[in-house]
Amino acid sequence: MGLAGRLLAALAVVVLVGALTAWLVAGVLGPPIFHDHLVQAGVADDARALLHAEEAYTTASTLSLSIAVAAAAFTSLAVSVFLTTRIGRSLSSLTTGAAHVASGRYDARVPRPGMGTEFDRLADAFNRMAGRLEASERLRRRSLADVAHELRTPVATLDAYLQGLEDGVTTLSPPTIEVLHSQVVRLTRLAEDLAAVTRAESGELGLRTARVPPAQLVTAAVTSARERYAAAGVDLTADAQPGLPEVTVDTERMAQVLGNLLDNALRHTPPGGSVVVSATRSAHDVALSVSDSGEGIDLEHLPHVFERFYRVDEARDRDHGGSGVGLAITKALVEAHGGTVSAVSRGPGTGARFDVALPARDR
């Protein structure tokens, strides 16, 4: 039984119950009450007048009830047809949209039916779901394309050298071994980064947390990266605000977070530039920040820098050796700690700042 039939049956039951109730009231309770009133009015002395009055009451009640029931039935039928048509049209639109999404057409959207907040919220929720699926599908396709691109270069290099060795054009000299090793390292790093970000985003990453002073995290990160920065001619300093509350983190994972941010800052800061790792109090959080004086980020790219394989400048980033998932790993690890990460920049040439906000553990 469809929606129209169910709604019509429900309204028919309401009309029948109403008609039965009215008949019981008018046919069973009404005549005795009417007779008592006639007796009290002195009409009972005239038998013919009493009979005529009671017949008039019965006729009038029957006629009025018949007209009322007929009007109610007609109105119920009209309301049923109207509602089922509107609801059916809305559900049909939603069903069509769901079928499109199920077939992979994530650009499907449904209009708000205007039949109440419940239907409008349902349409809005469907459109938000479809929008997120569409964005995820675009990211998936771009990620697959980027993975294919990342694999193509080292695989092509390895294939060319192996063919050269096989044909005797190339010898297995130390420079050749170094090139082959570098390409294998690149493939290994890409595989490890993809595995890490997948585990972190799926919630399968186990954290061994402990309460740690933020200054300790800053100092450890700066100490670990100092040699790389010195070799690149970039100044690296630590600046931890005194008296900060402790944070509950996995020190190894947080070292990975700050290490990724420092590697990212080093890739985009030219020699002679500077990078500062700081820890400050921000409302109920502790903010760990990595600020650089480097190339900066255009405003249109800021919302996307933490997506997998997203590159502000693809050619430049590949030259610098980034796998394209470092910041995605950073975001997933920070969120696994219950924190947030964001990027701030006023545009190209103004430097950038990456802020990691972690919940403070006040004593």
Domain C-terminal end among 202, 222, 248: 202
d(CA 243, CA 355): 19
Report which listed range, 1-10, 168-177, 291-300, is most confident: 291-300
Domain C-terminal end among 176, 202, 228: 202
d(CA 39, CA 328): 92
- Would you state the pLDDT for residue 47? 67
CATH of the domain at 158: 1.10.287.130
Q: What is the band of 309 on the pLDDT scale with cuts at 50, 70, 90? A: low
Helix (H, G, I), strand (E, B) or coil at 358: strand
Q: What is the pLDDT of residues 73-93, one digit of tens each?
A: 788 778 777 777 777 777 778
Q: Is residue 113 part of a domain?
A: no
Residue 321 has pLDDT above 60, yes or no: no
Nearest 5°: phi and psi at 362?
A: -70, 145
pLDDT, the chain, mean: 81
Same-domain status, 19 and 86: yes
CA 6 to centroid of chain Cα atoms? 36
Question: Can you give the residue range of the structural domain that contains 294?
Answer: 210-361
Residue 37 has pLDDT above 60, yes or no: yes
- Would you state the pLDDT for residue 291? 95
Helix (H, G, I), strand (E, B) or coil at 125: helix
Locate 62 and state its tokens.
């029957």
Same-domain status, 128 and 245: no
* 227: exposed, middle or buried (Cβ count in 10 Å: 0-12, 13-18, 19+): exposed
pTM for the full predicted model: 0.55
d(CA 64, CA 282): 75
Q: What is the pLDDT of residues 220-268, one digit of tens each?
A: 999 999 999 999 999 999 999 988 999 999 998 899 899 989 999 999 9
- Would you state the pLDDT for residue 203? 62
Q: Are 333 and 198 in contact (CB under 8 A)?
A: no
The least confident of 49-53, 129-133, 180-184 is 49-53
Same-domain status, 126 and 230: no
